[in-house]
Structure 1
């Protein structure tokens, strides 16, 4: 068996040129490239994901509001071991365990902390995912994809999800504040008293630790770990799915922190 196809990475198909744009597949893209394992990408049109997973005996990893199974990507099929893993976090754990000679995605003793961060970050960005309303789906599949999203959110159609200009602006303001609170993690400050982000930072009389002077791009250490890829995956999703003027706005927030993180992760976004 040729090593260039040892792992098959199932990603969601985009319009041309093919690229990763959904957050969970982005986590796996980063992980595979960081680990330097041999893999190739197999793009699946979103309406065909369930069929692809069932063929590989991969159970659904989500549930729709009506209780029915919802099949998503990423998924990897390691043709060397025969393993099929259909969850981004489980894929990262599998890669570290199965290919220990490469760089480690999880630093010693951090799996539980990283799992908690994964949940926190997914919840934070999902709350504002409606701002990423320009996802690059193949045009020939958009009608079928719209029906899938309507079912996922328990809606008759997607038109009811459209926001007015004023509602969108209000969501942007709230998103900036939410990211400002999360940015404290990069400064190594807790902000346990001042829960409301402000441009000047935590009020001086409330701050118990001024934190690091240089903020980002990594949460800890001199290089990335899987925790950084979790954040980067959502930033990558926004970069591919937000109107350019909105993306530029996010990149400018909090001293350009989000731009620095996204740009620093560029070496691990390679498509294979």
Structure 2
């Protein structure tokens, strides 16, 4: 049995919401692996990661190790990991008879995609980060607010764009995701060709986060699912069967 660690939230205690964790959930479900999910509060992440024996995933602005989710523990091997790309690589190697998240021979291309894609997400951060705090339970929300207001040097309310600034910031985000659409041919359904891969799971996780935060009836969700001839709406729909929590 594999254990997936995910962030708890106040709207549905048994379902995921975090775009980064969704990447790993997509991989687990796509590969058809048995797993269970443990939901934890934001302030408990560091202690949990240390307890299971996984390494930090980065460095905080103050130079201290940064511990975050997703994280997994594989009971069959005793391995504990806490970085979505590393988890995908590990699961492909450990369970070779399941569909690959990173197709054979595409490791470099997948890494290049991540390096090109992740910086573009900064256009979405002004919308994403304040919304994350709003869906958290009080202990997580307090911890998250303190951490990210220190990073931004501003309150979360000031980070979230309003009025004309919101219109401009939203256009910047849609232009950014449209630049990703330009990497693909109109007939391409998936980044790597005829099958989904980790690169698609990365995009779908952030698209799905918009649905979670803004709501299925929101104009923002309608914009994302209809721009670029509906590419991102189709992707989210086609991957829906792999997004369910266990």
Do both share a fold (TM > 0.5)?
yes
Q: How many residues align?
A: 240
1:271 and 2:245 correspond: yes
CA distance in 2, matches of 1:160, 1:227: 32
Q: Give the deviation of 1:106 after TM superposition.
A: 1.6
Show the counterpart of 2:197.
225
Specify the SS of the correspondent of 1:84. Answer: strand
CA distance in 1, matches of 2:6, 2:87: 13
Deviations 1:152-177 (A, max 9, x none): x1526434323221111101111222
Asked if structure 2 preserves the Cα contact closer than 8 Å seen for 1:147 and 1:157, the reply is no
What is the TM-score when the length of structure 2 is the normalising length? Answer: 0.90
1:121 and 2:117 correspond: yes
CA distance in 2, matches of 1:154, 1:22: 20
Query: Which of residues 59, 65, 68 is equivalent to 2:55?
Result: 59
1:7 and 2:2 correspond: yes
CA distance in 2, matches of 1:145, 1:49: 11
Deviations 1:58-105 (A, max 9, x none): 232122222122211000000110000111000000000000111111
CA distance in 2, matches of 1:38, 1:258: 28
Show the counterpart of 2:18.
22
More helix by share: 2
What is the TM-score when the length of structure 1 is the normalising length? Answer: 0.82
Unmatched 5+ residue regions in structure 2?
none
CA distance in 2, matches of 1:127, 1:267: 28
Query: Which of residues 217, 221, 229 is equivalent to 1:247?
Result: 221
Deviations 1:93-125 (A, max 9, x none): 000000011111122210111011122222212
Show the counterpart of 1:172.
170
Specify the SS of the correspondent of 2:100. Answer: coil
Asked if structure 1 preserves the Cα contact closer than 8 Å seen for 2:208 and 2:236, the reply is yes
CA distance in 1, matches of 2:16, 2:72: 15
Specify the SS of the correspondent of 1:9. Answer: strand
Stretch deviating more after TM superposition (134-143 or 39-48): 134-143
CA distance in 2, matches of 1:65, 1:154: 11
Unmatched 5+ residue regions in structure 1?
1-5, 188-211
Asked if structure 1 preserves the Cα contact closer than 8 Å seen for 2:55 and 2:81, the reply is no
Q: Give the deviation of 1:247 after TM superposition.
A: 1.5
List aligned pairs for 1:1-272, cutoff 5 A.
Answer: 6-17=1-12, 18-132=14-128, 133-135=130-132, 136-139=135-138, 141-151=140-150, 153-155=151-153, 157-187=155-185, 212=186, 214-216=187-189, 218-243=190-215, 244-272=218-246
Deviations 1:183-210 (A, max 9, x none): 01221xxxxxxxxxxxxxxxxxxxxxxx
Asked if structure 2 preserves the Cα contact closer than 8 Å seen for 1:131 and 1:242, the reply is no
Stretch deviating more after TM superposition (60-69 or 80-89): 60-69
Q: Give the deviation of 1:179 after TM superposition.
A: 1.7
**Between Structure 1 and Structure 2, whose CA radius of gyration is higher?**
1
